[in-house]
Amino acid sequence: PSQGYFLIKIGEYVAEYIKTGKVEGHALLDSIKKIVENDEHRSSRPVAAIAVIDCMVKEHLAEGEKQRWTTDVVQPWYDSSDRHTDDVLCRANSFLRDSEDGFNGIKILLKAFDTGSYVVFMTMPSLASLLLFQHLELRKLGCMQSGKDEAAGAAGALEPLLHGFQLFVSSGRGVFHATDADRPARNMPAIIQGLRCLVYLLDSDWNTIGPVKTAREFLQEEQ
């Protein structure tokens, strides 16, 4: 399904949930409800869906980026009567790709640590982390479906996605594993606690551990 299809479904679900009156006291849903109610064209376009994206992104953006997101990405759509979402989604994708809070803020330490297996560290803003884990989950679902269609195993289909890595863990408790066999071990709380300590390292500290490269630099090299 396309992102437009998912957008419509999200909009329908959220709009219906708002109608039930169960959103009071929930800051994020209250913000979405306010946007929906203030849009005079809400009956003919997926305002709730755009509001979900808007509010969830702003929830994770640094203060300096919130105004740029509003001005450059969503406000032009809110101010118009446009029923179509292609342009606003294109602006959103560009912002999330180029922003220091998004893809552009991911940095990878170019040193793997031998722990019986291998561990690689990445640093990124909370929004980039959220996008990464959602991307992995969606790609996993896609690979599993492809594996079913081709009567192939899911693990094999995931190899190009994970580049040999079977487990992703974030300091914000995000956990992604390629297969059930890669489910986190019992020491996961200690791993997350250790990652939370690393959050406080400065860029200069990381540079003393080993060279660092941004995700964008990796992408440019592949092109």
Q: What is the pLDDT of residues 182-222, one digit of tens each?
A: 776 677 888 888 999 988 888 888 888 888 888 888 878 77
Q: In terms of C-beta density within 10 A (0-12 exposed, 13-18 middle, 19 or more buried), how is residue 126 classed?
A: middle
Q: Do residues 129 and 110 touch, judged by C-beta distance below 8 A?
A: no
Residue 155 has pLDDT above 50, yes or no: no
Give 62-120 pLDDT, tens digit per residue: 888 899 999 999 999 999 888 888 899 999 999 998 888 888 888 888 888 888 778 88
What is the predicted pLDDT for the residue at 154? 46
Q: Do residues 152 and 173 touch, judged by C-beta distance below 8 A?
A: no
Taking CA 102 as the corner, what is the angle to CA 5 and CA 3, rounded to the nearest 5 degrees? Answer: 5
Give 20-63 pLDDT, tens digit per residue: 766 666 787 788 888 888 887 767 788 888 998 999 899 888 88
**What is the rounded CA–CA span in Å between residue 26 and residue 9?**
21
* C-alpha Rg value of the chain to the nearest Å: 20
